[in-house]
Chain A
Amino acid sequence: MKKIMLSFLLLLTLTGYTQMTAEDVKTFTLKNGMKFLIVEDFSIPNANMYLFYKVGSRNEHQGITGLSHFFEHMMFNGAKKYGPKLFDQTMEFNGGANNAYTTENVTVYTNWFPASATEVIFDLESDRISSLNIDSTMVESERGVVLSERSTGLENSPWRNLVQAVQATAFQEHPYHWPVIGYEDDMKNWTQQDLEKYFKTYYAPNNCVVVVSGALKFEKVKQLAEQYLEPIPAQVAPPKVHIKEPIQTGERRITVKKEVATPYMAIAYHTPEAKHEDYYALNILNSILTSGQSSRLYTALVDQQQLATEVYSSFGESFDPGLFFLYLVSNKEVAHTDLEKAIFIELDKIKNTGITEKELQKIKNQKLMEFYDQIETINGKSNNIGTYEVFFGDYKKMFEAPDNYNNVTIADIQRVAKKYFAKSNRTVGVLKTNVED
């Protein structure tokens, strides 16, 4: 997501393209504190509604790990007016579809529907936000569903296993320590009471940002919001997450056993939260390393030295300081220790001699294209605007940020590489068949 936003900003400054400006996003806040962001777009006769709740696994504690994600499931399992199954049945009957996702930071509900069905969607959302009914039979069958979701993730991808282990090693105190899906034993033991308390604490209108894009007039959306959602009372603000991860003072290593063709490797560096001043430079650095086959790490490790068959990296936005991840798959007959050495040599090159102006310009061009992709669809628009509002505190910052991006220089890239890619700041994870080696 952050990449999308970056491109948006670059777009505005680099090309002066005035297709979408801050004025195209119209906004209002209901008396109960629920904030709405609206984009009118009549290119197709459809619309969407994205609801961002500021609750994720960082709001959990041991004993209830995974509850945010489980709650995301329970939000579809019945409220006062629309009982079990009827949220989905009614939405689909009216031509709509939905999904939802949970991260360490947020829980996001997404509805996609023909614009003519908008009122039904408001009615459905209003019902479950105001009067969710946590049915104990549904809790039990849904528990089976999330246990299956956890198991199939582990069954079909070694990455899930490895990333969980690395994250748990890099974070020893902060709630980013446990996986979003939760610990298996916690999953089997969540109680009705846990769920009820969670709903009351976090599912309050004042803890939610709603984005609506599509073939709808602003006035209509506002009227429906006032009718269906304003009567829901605000709640006291949820407790703050007070734990700060202590500074890491030495390299950490973790090995995981799994039957695989060649070893998988994940390396994580602690990096700051989305609102930090280094966010933009780190974002560009992420693309420099792995975006495209001409990127630094693909060229060196996959193409030229043939030590790896795949390489990726990620740097996401988060409320609290997070992780910059490198992911690699070793080639056949390659010792993963040799691959690891080669990775650090490439990172050292950036730390010691920086990148070129051309590389920096390349990433700016790529960000622009990513931005175009996003504004091509109403879903891209809602996602983009909502994420900016939630993670950067104000969707308007999207329009102030061009300066932040244009100010990123090749010297900044070198500076953040030196600052964060330190040995003492990293956790190295290896997943392989033979862990006795």
Chain B
Amino acid sequence: MKQIKQTIVIVCMLMAYNMTISAQNYKLPEYTSFKLPNGLTVYMMERHDVPVISFSAILPAGAIYDGNKTGLAGLTATALKHGTKSFTKSKLDEELDFLGAYINTSAAKEYASLSSKFAAKDKDKVLSIIKEIVLDPVFDTTEFEKEKSRLLVRLEQQKESPRSVIRSYFNKLLFGNHVYGNVTQGINATVNKLTVADLKNFYNSNYTPNNAAISIVGDFSIKEMRGVITTLFSNWKKGDNATESLASKSIVNPIENKVLLVNKEDAKETTFFIGALGVSRNNPDFISIDVVNTLFGGRFTSMLNDELRVNTGLTYGAGSRFSTLKNGGSFYISTFTATKTTEAAIDKALEVLNNLHANGLDEKSLTSAKNYVKGQFPPDYETTGQLARLLTQMYWYNFDESFINNFEKNVDDLDLIKANKIIADYFPKDKLQFVLIGKAADIKEIAEKYGTVRQVEIKEDPKSGF
């Protein structure tokens, strides 16, 4: 019965195969950009569907600049909202909440960012608050101490959830002492010692306009907005020293399989990553890699999810991802399973990876993945917030609208020969890096099957030096 049904469906799918996903051809709406004399790059795009404006900023102030003060970039970004020249923190919160507007500030691995959304009618008020947050923060000591104490509790709480911390352990294991291994969210030992003076120093060295960009997308006139932005941001002082490109230092390739076993005494599941070094955002094969990874672990019917969830019921979900940064990146398979099925799930994940190399792809599945990434592409760039973020990402990773406008063509151009080459070139075969979070007493022997094991306690902070 089952086989007969499958034949029917294969016929249906072959019919569908000839159908092209033709209604797409999504193009990036028109935008303009200019540079202020202080070096700040500005993007503007008008969108009049809804009376709102989104604002985005990107600054070279991410966790790669933490030095030995892990968590510094993150706390500095948060503290930008602890009060400015004209507003105390509570006044700032009151003003923004009253308008139904938000301004969020945060630090990622490589950069700090600000994102904001507000009603078009409130643009003068909110833009002037954004300007103060970026240019005139006061780093109030009382607010800082409260924030720090909340962060310390939160860092402890995150260890209650393997999913919240596994990425930090994996990056440390994979990148070692390279700055891409820095733990963005911070660790207790170093956050504990941070002071307002540290934040001020970090702000002064890294929040400079010459390597930063802002974007404004929404219901306004570009002609008018150009003047407003120029007035608000021209007094931002250019940074003296060129930012040292810490991330461009070479990343050491792992030479053997390694397993970091993180013991969580009360775990009933094993949460795990299996990975290797990946690619940078500007890799010329970026889109092709995305298409192939869609098949391997990037959607519901992917090879990983099909085997680990649908066929075996070992987990609620399994997937894989290429996480890309400016000068490198990572690849990882991620999933979780009950403690007693740990070995079955890891073996299955490795088997799927081996099969990818051994069997490659076929024409039908490649077509499916191409249709899928094209079909799901336009909703990623539907709102003012999504578009504002895209523009600052374009600045940061140095790509332009051709990424959007030629996306379909680039996807279509990927043929089977190239797709199979992508597997050989970018998907790891060996020297795999494993992080397992679970009950060590029950899974240590299993872990030893896969490589040299180092065991740590989840209560300890992630550190390099395997």
Binding site for B on A (CB under 8 A): 17, 19, 43-46, 78, 81-86, 88-90, 92-98, 112-117, 120, 135, 140-149, 151-152, 154-158, 215, 258-262, 291-295, 299, 302-303, 306, 309, 329, 331-332, 358, 361-362, 365-370, 372-373, 375-379
Contact = CB atoms under 8 A, between A and B. Distances in A.
Interface in B294-327: 299-301, 306, 309-316
Contacts of B378: 44-46, 114
Interface of B: 2, 5-6, 8-9, 12-13, 16-17, 19, 21-26, 49-52, 90, 93-94, 96-101, 117-119, 146, 149-150, 152-154, 156-157, 159-164, 265-269, 271, 299-301, 306, 309-316, 336-338, 367-368, 371-372, 374-376, 378-379, 382-384
Contacts of B146: 303, 306
B50 A89 contact: no
Given A158-B160, A376-B382, 15 more contacts: A78-B5, A83-B6, A84-B5, A93-B17, A112-B379, A114-B23, A142-B313, A151-B338, A156-B164, A262-B153, A293-B93, A295-B97, A372-B51, A376-B49, A377-B383
Contact of B310 (A44, A85, A95, A372): A85
Nearest to A369: B100
B299 to A, nearest CB: 6
A286 B314 CA distance: 40
Contacts of A148: 269, 313-316, 336-338
Contact of B372 (A44, A97, A361): A97
A97 B299 contact: yes
A94 to B, nearest CB: 6
A309 B100 CA distance: 23
A366 B100 contact: yes
B97 A95 contact: no
A36 to B, nearest CB: 21
Given A89-B9, A377-B379, A362 B98 contact: yes
B338 A141 contact: no
Contacts of A156: 161-164
Contacts of B266: 258-259
A141 B311 contact: yes
B43 to A, nearest CB: 19
A85 B301 contact: yes
A155 B325 CA distance: 30
A90 B9 contact: yes
Nearest to B438: A155
Given A89-B9, A114-B374, A370-B100, A84 B2 contact: yes
B374 A95 contact: yes
B313 A372 contact: no
Given A89-B13, A151-B268, A306 B149 contact: yes
B90 A303 contact: yes
Contacts of B99: 365, 369
Contacts of B51: 17, 372
A116 B269 CA distance: 42
B310 A376 contact: no
A95 B336 contact: no
Contacts of B25: 45
B313 A114 contact: no
10 contacts: A46-B375, A85-B301, A114-B378, A116-B24, A142-B313, A156-B161, A260-B157, A331-B150, A362-B100, A368-B119
